């Protein structure tokens, strides 16, 4: 089975939670890009956003994704919600193996993250309206990047992981990767 994949989706869609469990079930390393970025930046994403702005953060995010895409071997990669905003990132995601879009409605996401102070793009007067705006902008980009769309509204994490495993078992190897899950030579 293909053991190299990346999870994309809105903030709060479950990428880290589902990704951690998926990696455990597959027996492969789990990489949370947000945690890696915070380690590399030496500060929280929110603090980096406040100090340097979104463009500088997106530059750092793109660099890390390119590094992750170039690394051989199996992994489950959990990305940040805005990773799909840049075309080069959507291309790099495909080098990470299968791309799975964990889709949740803005209303469902709001219920999950309404008390989370760590998400810089949601620190606004009306976070639900902001989520709806982000969803309208990003949903087409997630769909463009992903081979699979997994609805995360009602299923448990265990059920979502099982759904993903079934999709991966039935899927052919991604075009950008060889059967071993490493990037194909260019």
Closest by CA to 90, choosing from 118, 121, 69, 60, is 69
Residues 160, 166, 170, 176, Cα dihedral to 10° = 40
Residues 6/99, Cβ–Cβ less than 8 Å: yes
Q: According to the annotation, is 44 in a ligand binding site?
A: no
Q: According to the annotation, is 58 in a ligand binding site?
A: yes
Q: According to the annotation, is 43 in a ligand binding site?
A: no
140-144 CB contacts, 8 Å cutoff, 24+ apart: 141/84, 141/85, 141/90, 142/8, 142/9, 142/10, 142/84, 142/101, 142/103, 143/101, 144/84, 144/90
- Listed in sequence order, the DSSP H helices in the chain are 15-26, 33-41, 45-52, 54-70, 87-95, 106-113, 127-145, 157-170
Q: According to the annotation, is 73 in a ligand binding site?
A: no
Q: According to the annotation, is 53 in a ligand binding site?
A: no
Q: According to the annotation, is 81 in a ligand binding site?
A: yes
According to DSSP, the residues that pair with 99 across neighbouring strands are 6
- Neighbouring CB atoms inside 10 A of 133's CB total 14
Q: Return d(Cα 84, Cα 56) in angstroms, integer.
A: 16
Q: According to the annotation, is 79 in a ligand binding site?
A: no
Positions at the binding site for substrate: 34, 58, 81, 138
Positions at the binding site: 12-17, 34, 58, 81, 119, 138
Positions at the binding site for ATP: 12-17, 119
Positions at the binding site for Mg(2+): 16
């Amino acid at each position: 089975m293909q053991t190299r994949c990346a999870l994309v989706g809105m903030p709060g869609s479950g990428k880290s939670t589902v990704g951690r469990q998926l990696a455990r079930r597959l027996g492969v390393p789990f990489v949370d890009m947000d945690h890696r970025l915070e380690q590399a930046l030496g500060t929280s994403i929110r603090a980096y956003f406040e100090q340097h702005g979104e463009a500088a953060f997106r530059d750092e995010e793109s660099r890390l994704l390119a590094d992750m895409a170039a690394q051989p071997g199996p992994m489950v990669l959990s990305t940040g919600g805005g990773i799909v905003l840049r075309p080069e990132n959507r291309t790099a995601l495909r080098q990470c193996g299968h791309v799975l879009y964990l889709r949740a409605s803005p209303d469902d996401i709001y219920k999950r993250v309404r008390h989370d102070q760590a998400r810089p793009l949601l620190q606004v007067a009306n976070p639900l309206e902001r989520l709806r705006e982000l969803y309208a902008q990003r949903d087409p980009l997630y769909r463009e990047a992903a081979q699979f769309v997994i609805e995360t509204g009602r299923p448990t994490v265990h059920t979502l992981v099982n759904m993903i495993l079934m999709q991966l078992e039935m899927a052919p190897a991604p075009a950008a990767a060889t059967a071993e899950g490493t990037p194909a030579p260019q």
